[in-house]
């Protein structure tokens, strides 16, 4: 009785080994989606998906890097193109919530990004700004400020 079971076990092992090594095709394949995911409009206060590469179509021609750490902006002076939408890649490096709001000289909000609970990086889609100097601030920590210059 032992020999037939041993023989059967060897046949099964040999069949599995042959199936695993003789096929050049994978046992499964991945089919990419045939239609793109629904697009989300870039509202002035929304963050684009972090997977969207700066400079990609719809992301504007310029990218500005701003990061927050130790309850301060690491870049306090930045520049962006005037008259053209651009992307702020915002990197909140700490567990504190932060965002970026851009204000003109009179204090009028020109852009307000969503608050980001860190650590996390997001891309803010910023609409075109006229040439000039703007203040950017964190709504959660008003002592966090910087200057953005929109120029040609």
The H helix count followed by the E strand count for the chain is: 1, 11
* Residues in the chain, overall count: 152
For residue 24, being part of any structural domain is answered with no
Q: What's this model's pTM, rounded to 2 decimal places?
A: 0.62
More confident residue, 32 or 74: 74
When divided into structural domains, the chain yields a total of 1
Q: For residue 56, which of 79, 39, 73, 32 has the smallest C-alpha distance?
A: 39
Q: What is the mean pLDDT of residues 47-73?
A: 64
For residue 42, being part of any structural domain is answered with no
Whose tokens are 């990086």? That residue is 121
More confident residue, 21 or 105: 105
Range of the domain at 147: 47-151
Residue 120's CATH number = 2.60.40.420
**pLDDT-based confidence at residue 152 (cuts at 50, 70, 90):** confident
- Residues 12-49: tens digit of each pLDDT: 545 444 444 444 444 333 343 444 444 333 334 433 33
Q: Please state, in angstroms and rounded to a whole number, the distance separating the CA atoms of residues 52 and 75.
A: 22
Q: For residue 37, which of 47, 46, 49 has the smallest C-alpha distance?
A: 49
């Amino acid at each position: 009785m032992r020999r037939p079971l041993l023989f059967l076990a060897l046949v099964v092992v040999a069949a599995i080994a042959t199936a695993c090594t003789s096929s050049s095709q994978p046992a499964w394949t991945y089919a990419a989606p045939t239609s793109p995911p629904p697009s989300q409009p870039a509202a002035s206060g929304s963050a684009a998906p972090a997977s969207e590469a700066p400079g990609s179509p719809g992301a504007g021609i310029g990218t500005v890097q701003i990061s927050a750490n130790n309850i301060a902006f690491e870049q306090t002076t930045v520049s962006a193109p005037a008259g053209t939408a651009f992307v702020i890649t915002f990197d909140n490096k700490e567990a504190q919530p932060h965002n970026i709001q851009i204000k003109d000289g009179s204090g009028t909000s020109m852009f307000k990004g969503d608050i980001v609970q860190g650590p996390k990086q997001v891309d803010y889609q910023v609409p075109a700004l006229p040439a000039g100097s703007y203040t950017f601030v964190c709504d959660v920590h008003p002592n966090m400020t910087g200057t953005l210059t929109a120029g040609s």
